[in-house]
Amino acid sequence: MLGIILWLFIAYIVGSIPFGLIIARATCGIDPRTGGSGNVGATNVARLCGTRWGIATLLCDLLKGTLPVWIGMAVSDSPLFLSCVALAALGGHVYSMFLDFKGGKAVATTIGIFIPLAFNSILLAAIACALVIWRSGYVSLGSLTLVTVMPLLLFLGGGWSYIPLSLVVMALVYWTHRENIGRLARGEEKAWQKKKHEEQ
Ligand code: G3P
């Protein structure tokens, strides 16, 4: 029991590491909370510091989800335990202990948690996300698509144990994107390329 609680706490601490802030400060001397969308995630780091540092942030944030879940599989293969580990990592990312309990929007870390749990489903969801971003230009719309199709893909693919996790994640990501949703509804969300130019 103590091992389980300890691992949940470690997952939260790992999720809390603000890679976007660290990478943006180190590479272009910008605090992403003060520029672009104000988010510390990969999209905003790419917007402010360039695509390659956005990709670096994406990979680091993704690993924050993958590693705690993957190592947690050695502690227990219980879907409830692994779902809690995944949520602890996501909670750390969104409510980081290093950022006054504020943080990112949880998309890269969501991809990360599902890589060891439901690889085929998250791969298809990521492809759907990429297609929406490519066709619409809105990263936020792609992110919302990813978390919306994930429960359906788990259902179709037989990954039923993780459907409750995917539904909680969907609610969390809709919550973190509430301002993006408002802008999308009002037609004020800026498409990726347009936004990039306007921020420069
Ligand atoms: O993953 C975050 C993305 O969906 C939106 O990012 O910076 O445009 O709010 P941003």
Taking residues 15-33, what's their average pLDDT? Answer: 97
Pocket probe for ligand 1: among 19, 143, 193, the residue whose CB has the most ligand atoms within 8 Å is 143
What is the number of the ligand 1 atom nearest to the C-alpha of 179?
9
Average pLDDT of the chain is: 94
Looking at residue 116, its pLDDT comes to 98
Looking at residue 153, its pLDDT comes to 98
Taking residues 24-36, what's their average pLDDT? Answer: 96
The three-state DSSP-derived secondary structure of the chain is CHHHHHHHHHHHHHHHCCHHHHHHHHHHCCCHHHCCCCCCCHHHHHHHHCHHHHHHHHHHHHHHHHHHHHHHHHHCCCHHHHHHHHHHHHHHHHCECCCCCECCCCHHHHHHHHHHHCHHHHHHHHHHHHHHHHHHCCHHHHHHHHHHHHHHHHHHHCCHHHHHHHHHHHHHHHHHCHHHHHHHHHCCCCCHHHHHHHHC
What is the number of the ligand 1 atom nearest to the C-alpha of 36?
7
pLDDT tens by residue, 42-97? 999 999 999 999 999 999 999 999 999 999 999 899 999 999 999 999 999 999 99
Is the pLDDT assigned to residue 195 strictly greater than 80? no
Q: Does residue 57 have its Cβ closer than 6 Å to ligand 1?
A: no
Q: Does residue 39 have its Cβ closer than 6 Å to ligand 1?
A: yes
Is the pLDDT assigned to residue 106 strictly greater than 70? yes
Q: Whole-model pTM?
A: 0.93
Looking at residue 192, its pLDDT comes to 75
Q: Atom 9 of ligand 1 has which residue's CA nearest to it?
A: 37
pLDDT tens by residue, 133-185? 999 999 999 999 999 999 999 999 999 999 999 999 999 999 999 999 999 99
Looking at residue 199, its pLDDT comes to 47
